[in-house]
């Protein structure tokens, strides 16, 4: 992600990762207490995560929990794991998670997102193929599907170089399994700024909204985290605000039919956008005609990372500026579901069958590059939290 932060990979590694200490101070007592916020949603702790920084989380229909660790310089021993008896173990096994740069296509290298699709029975791993946000080579950026009944890979799509560009950073993914023979997937590209569309049957993929203003970081955005303006402090480089493109993604549509809208937002921006899924899914539609279906939905309550949606057509929004989770209702109104100082950079959101919204809180704002003295303020463990909501998960049958 050299383009995103304007710094070299080596500098990022030295300044942001090596000084991380796993011997963490204890949380203040007031943070240990479960808080019933006046907004109504109680923040519940689920699983503590120690070691390298996690990003994604997802849940299967039968309650299995999967987490991923991108390779951000902390030498994650595996990039995809399942939480078993409260501890992460490599999933589906250590061999698939073994880094092999000579055989990138057959190994998970640096997964940024894991998502159980709308069947609730298949896990998809979105592999950036990127170490410390660096450029990639063919075979690294890919989409890998795993059957949760057999724990075996059933699909692997390697992106060609005209789709996964050298500076592409595959970020998050959503599905509509009603389209085509096996469904389609939609991926945000945080590095090369755009959305990638994938036909799951053929593996054919194409770029949409490439370099469109809606997929760019907002030019005048000034991020505020834990009451401080977030400025990157990298020795030998000018200080600058964090700037990251298209990141969060969610999809909505009528029950039993094609998904209608794809929602997305840049990491360093406060506006939420949506675009017609029909337009994205038609490889023959011109870029100009696709862009005509974009709607700017305005401010979403704060800058954030992950998005999620429910079967009622509502969109859930993480907000790292205000330590909060918001919801955009179908009438366009916004409401805050929970706000709590423990929600330190809500990264990925996932709605489970048990009626809870789960999310990771990975303290991303506390890494050294955001501190003027380059100190590391992260405190182990990271947490997976959840809140009870009244929405239900989007479900679709597996393609025949």
pLDDT tens sequence across 234-272: 677 788 888 888 899 999 998 778 999 999 999 999 999
pLDDT tens sequence across 152-175: 999 999 999 999 999 999 999 999
Q: Whole-angstrom Cα distance, residue 276 to residue 86?
A: 40
Query: Can you give the pTM of this predicted structure?
Result: 0.90
pLDDT of residue 39: 56
Has residue 34 got a pLDDT over 70?
A: no
pLDDT of residue 273: 98
Q: Whole-angstrom Cα distance, residue 185 to residue 122?
A: 13
pLDDT tens sequence across 117-152: 999 999 999 999 998 788 899 999 999 999 999 999
| Residue 123 contacts residue 181 (beta carbons within 8 Å) | no
Kindly state the average pLDDT of the residues 297-323.
96
Specify which residues 197 forms β-bridges with.
186, 206
- Burial letters for 315-346: b for 16+ Cβ neighbours within 10 Å, e otherwise? bbbbbbbbbbbbbbeeeeebebbbbbebbbbb
| Residue 387 contacts residue 52 (beta carbons within 8 Å) | no
Has residue 398 got a pLDDT over 80?
A: no
pLDDT of residue 367: 84
pLDDT of residue 33: 42
Tell me the domain boundaries of the chain.
2-388
What superfamily does domain 2-388 belong to in CATH? TolB, C-terminal domain (2.120.10.30)
pLDDT tens sequence across 314-347: 999 999 999 999 999 999 999 999 999 999 999 9
Give the count of beta carbons closer than 10 Å to the beta carbon of residue 260.
Answer: 15
């Amino acid at each position: 992600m050299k383009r995103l932060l304007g710094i070299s990979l080596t500098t990022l590694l030295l300044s942001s990762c090596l000084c991380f200490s796993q011997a963490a101070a204890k949380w203040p007592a007031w943070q240990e207490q479960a808080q019933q916020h006046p907004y109504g949603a109680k923040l519940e702790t689920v699983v503590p995560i120690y070691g390298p920084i996690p990003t994604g989380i997802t849940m299967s229909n039968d309650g299995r929990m999967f987490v991923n660790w991108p390779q951000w310089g902390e030498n994650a021993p595996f990039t995809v794991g399942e939480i078993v008896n409260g501890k992460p173990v490599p999933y589906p096994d250590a061999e698939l998670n073994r880094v092999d740069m000579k055989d990138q296509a057959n190994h998970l290298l640096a997964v940024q997102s894991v998502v159980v699709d709308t069947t609730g029975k298949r896990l998809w791993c979105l592999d950036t193929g990127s170490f410390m946000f660096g450029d990639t080579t063919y075979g690294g950026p890919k989409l890998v599907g795993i059957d949760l009944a057999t724990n075996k890979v059933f699909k692997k799509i390697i992106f060609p170089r005209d789709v996964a560009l050298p500076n592409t950073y595959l970020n998050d993914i959503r599905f509509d399994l009603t389209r085509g023979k096996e469904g389609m997937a939609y991926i945000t590209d945080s590095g090369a700024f755009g959305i990638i569309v994938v036909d799951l049957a053929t593996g054919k993929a194409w770029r949409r909204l490439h370099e469109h203003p809606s997929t760019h970081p907002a030019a005048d955005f000034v991020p505020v985290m834990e009451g401080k303006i977030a400025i990157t402090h990298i020795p030998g480089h000018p200080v600058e605000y964090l700037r990251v493109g298209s990141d969060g993604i969610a999809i909505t549509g009528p029950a039993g039919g094609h998904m209608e809208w794809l929602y997305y937002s840049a990491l360093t921006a406060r506006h939420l956008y949506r675009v017609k899924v029909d337009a994205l899914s038609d490889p023959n539609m011109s870029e100009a005609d696709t862009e005509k279906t974009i709607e700017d939905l305005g401010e979403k309550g704060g800058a954030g990372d992950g998005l999620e949606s429910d079967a009622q057509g509502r969109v859930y929004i993480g907000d790292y500026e205000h330590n909060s989770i918001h919801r955009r209702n179908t009438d366009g109104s916004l409401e805050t579901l929970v706000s709590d100082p423990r929600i330190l950079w809500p990264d990925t959101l996932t709605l489970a069958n048990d009626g809870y919204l789960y999310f990771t809180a990975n303290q991303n704002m506390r890494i050294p590059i955001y501190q003027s003295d380059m100190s590391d303020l992260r405190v182990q463990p990271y947490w997976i939290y959840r809140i009870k909501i009244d929405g239900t998960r989007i479900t679709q049958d597996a393609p025949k």
